Each structure stands twice: as structure tokens, then as C-alpha cells.
Amino acid sequence: MSQRTLVILKPDAVRRGLVGEIIGRIERKAGWSVTAMELRTLDRATLEQHYAEHEGRPFYEPLMEFMASGPSVVMLVEGERVIEGIRALAGPTDPIGAPPGSVRGDFGTIVRENLIHASDSEESAERERKIFFPSFA
């Protein structure tokens, strides 16, 4: 089943010059395509919507500061089982436990600055698309 998901290449991916490498991995996957993409520095209001479920947790404010610290690449990716596939391509949040071949396994250094966000379900993908790309929702 074809799906559409949100992917964010976080400020550390942009700062470290990994955007092309990560997008290349996505584009090389047969049947997946990037259908919208923007480079933008995320504002507090957008980040509050996106991370609302984490408000009040100890990592919330450091995460908000990190995500607003520089430009990110936000994009929509479409394709067969793309939600599950991008999550696998990203790897687990902790880069130490992420397998080689995943973005976090190959390039990640710390949990909070983990290079990439990918929607974790169809419901999350729909909610997140409406925040970042309302005309595609």
C-alpha cells in the first residue's frame, strides 16, 4: 500500500553535511519518492505542535532548543510501506544500538541529536503532514 510520511533531517544532519547522503539513501529505495522538500529553521510554535506529546518530559526543552538551533530539511516521502521503511532506514533513536547501514548507526553520535525524524505510524504521518505541509494533508 502506498503511503506518505514526514521526514525531518535535523539541524545536526544539515550542519554535518549529511543531507545529500541521507536523501540519496531514500531516493535509491525502489518505489519511494520525495514529493515535497524545504530547508527551514523551525520556529517554536511549529515545534510545540510537533512535540506536544513530549511536553513536560525532562528532554523536552533541550530537544526544542536543538531543533530550533539551525536549519532542518523537512520533506514528504511517498511509496510502498514507506512509514515502516523510513523508520528502519533511520534506525533506533540511540545511535549506539542502531545497526550499521542505518542512518543513525552509520552517522549518529548522541541520542538527542540523532539526525533524522520519521513518522512512526499512519496517524502520526497524517498529523505531522498537516503541521509541516498543510497543502499536502
CA gap 21, 92 in Å, rounded? 18
CA gap 56, 49 in Å, rounded? 14
| Residue 61 Cα to chain centre, angstroms | 18
Listed residue (123, 113, 114, 5) closest to 53, CA to CA: 123
The residue annotated as part of the active site, out of 4, 25, 50, 117, is 117
Q: Write the DSSP string, 16-45.
A: TT-HHHHHHHHHHSTT-EEEEEEEEPPPHH
CA gap 117, 4 in Å, rounded? 14
Is 50 tagged catalytic? no
Q: Are 7 and 26 in contact (CB under 8 A)?
A: yes
Active site residue ranges: 117
